[in-house]
Chain A
Amino acid sequence: DGGITQSPKYLFRKEGQNVTLSCEQNLNHDAMYWYRQDPGQGLRLIYYSQIVNDFQKGDIAEGYSVSREKKESFPLTVTSAQKNPTAFYLCASSRLLAGSYEQYFGPGTRLTVT
């Protein structure tokens, strides 16, 4: 089955620690995205990538970092500089970086930092 996987589903960390969220897709999509969702809120774009070794900041990139070394993978690191890291993180991909292409979302990772 083709799709997007995110792991783990739940993640707990202590304040001050960096943590990396995994996102893998086997859809052969060029574009990938990371969104953050807070309780009762919509999605906010953190980073996006339209091709390997290229990525751009979204609306709320501060305190986050990404890499795109392989087409299939787009890991997100939540650094200790992110002031409010507890949230639901969603990864998505689309065939190309364009509004005319459907985004496919993963199941999400719920991060809790205490």
Chain B
Amino acid sequence: LAKTTQPISMDSYEGQEVNITCSHNNIATNDYITWYQQFPSQGPRFIIQGYKTKVTNEVASLFIPADRKSSTLSLPRVSLSDTAVYYCLVGVGDNYGQNFVFGPGTRLSVLP
């Protein structure tokens, strides 16, 4: 199973761009990389997903290098409401799986 490693915590200021990197050295060919956001006492919420190169949506970008052994979630111009825990999830891309492995999460604190 592909295990993931993320920084435990990060601090940022409002308006800055935040980049959170996740390492997944054992990622398999069929694995997708998905990032979730979680606020206290709530269920995680999907942010973005990718397989390779770059993916962008209205809230974030995801950069995946060619070797796919890491990925970087980029949050542009963060606000106080972006203070949350961010999880990197690597999971198989076919129906027969395997367990989905959530990383330990990165606790992002956005300061005024």
Answer yes or no: A62 CB below 8 A from chain B CBs. no
Contacts of A102 in B (CB 8 A): 34, 46, 49
Answer yes or no: B45 CB below 8 A from chain A CBs. yes
Answer yes or no: A71 CB below 8 A from chain B CBs. no
Residue in A43, A58, A59, A107 whose beta carbon sits within 8 Å of that of B87 in the complex? A43
Residue in B41, B46, B87, B102 whose beta carbon sits within 8 Å of that of A104 in the complex? B46
Let me know if B91 and A50 touch, CB within 8 A.
Answer: no
Contacts of A44 in B (CB 8 A): 102
Let me know if A98 and B92 touch, CB within 8 A.
Answer: yes
Let me know if B102 and A99 touch, CB within 8 A.
Answer: no
* Number of chain B residues whose Cβ lies closer than 8 Å to a Cβ of chain A: 29
Let me know if A97 and B95 touch, CB within 8 A.
Answer: yes
Contacts of B49 in A (CB 8 A): 100, 102
Query: How many A-B contacts are there with CB distance less than 8 Å?
Result: 70
Main secondary structure of the interface of B (DSSP, over half): loop
Contacts of B32 in A (CB 8 A): 99-100
Let me know if A99 and B93 touch, CB within 8 A.
Answer: yes
Answer yes or no: A53 CB below 8 A from chain B CBs. no
Answer yes or no: B94 CB below 8 A from chain A CBs. yes
Contacts of B95 in A (CB 8 A): 50, 96-98
Let me know if A99 and B105 touch, CB within 8 A.
Answer: no
CA gap between A33 and B105 in the complex, in Å = 19
Known contacts: A99-B32, A100-B32. The answer to whether A59 contacts B90 by CB under 8 A is no
CA gap between A99 and B49 in the complex, in Å = 9
User: Known pairs A59-B99, A99-B31, A102-B34. 19 more at Cβ < 8 A?
Assistant: A35-B102, A43-B102, A48-B100, A90-B43, A97-B96, A97-B97, A98-B91, A98-B92, A98-B94, A98-B97, A99-B34, A99-B90, A100-B51, A100-B91, A102-B46, A102-B49, A103-B34, A105-B45, A106-B43
